[in-house]
Structure 1
Amino acid sequence: MSTTHTAFTVGRTTFYRDGNHAQPLFRIEPGVSCQVAREHASELLDYARYLSFEGLMEDKPKMVWASHYFCAMAKALLDDAELGMGRV
């Protein structure tokens, strides 16, 4: 008989600090299912891929910057999920 252990985000990962790098502007909240966090990260990366492609094709730098932010959010989600799963 196997038991299922659901891992949760730990809430340690931050991203986008202020100009002095003293305070994080965003943080991943603790207690989110790691599976859900990974699913959201996947969705953000899909949006980032779309925005970067369209931004380059349509010469719209704002879309490319939005892609950059989505990638940073996705990385933070994945990093915090990895911490929650005890892999880091």
Structure 2
Amino acid sequence: MNDKTAGVTGFGYGDGEQPLFRVQPGQDAKLAMEQASAIMTCVKRMTLLAATDGEANLGWGAHLLSDMAKAVMDDVEVGRGRDS
């Protein structure tokens, strides 16, 4: 089993099918998952603040960061040979 990112998953889609950003190949899977977890911790806090303080911009920021974290997690799974 490969424990590296595959580098095939993109995020940050705009007007087309091409992603604005892409997970880099060959990164350590454990480190990548730790980064995704850290991002999701920020997302959790941002969504709470968006809901309780009416900060709509925090909601959009959380949405974009969650897309990034999902791409990292999906890419690790592809690298491990378990397409998600």
Structure 2: runs of 5 or more not aligned:
none
How many angstroms does 1:27 deviate by? 0.2
Say if 2:51 is the partner of 1:56: yes
Contact 1:6 1:33 in 2 (8 A): no
How many angstroms does 1:23 deviate by? 2.4
The residue type equivalent to 1:71 in the other structure is S
How many angstroms does 1:56 deviate by? 1.1
What residue is the counterpart of 1:34 in the other structure? Answer: 29
Q: What secondary structure is seen at the aligned counterpart in 2 of 1:66?
A: helix
Taking the aligned partners of 1:65 and 1:78, their CA distance within structure 2 comes to: 20
The runs of 4+ residues in structure 1 deviating greater than 2 Å are none
| 1:10-30 deviations in Å (ceiling 9; x for gaps) | 1000112231x1421000000
The residue type equivalent to 2:8 in the other structure is R
Identical aligned residues as a percent: 33
Say if 2:13 is the partner of 1:7: no
Count of matched residue pairs: 83
State which structure, 1 or 2, has the greater radius of gyration over its C-alpha atoms. Answer: 1
After superposition, the CA RMSD in angstroms is: 1.3
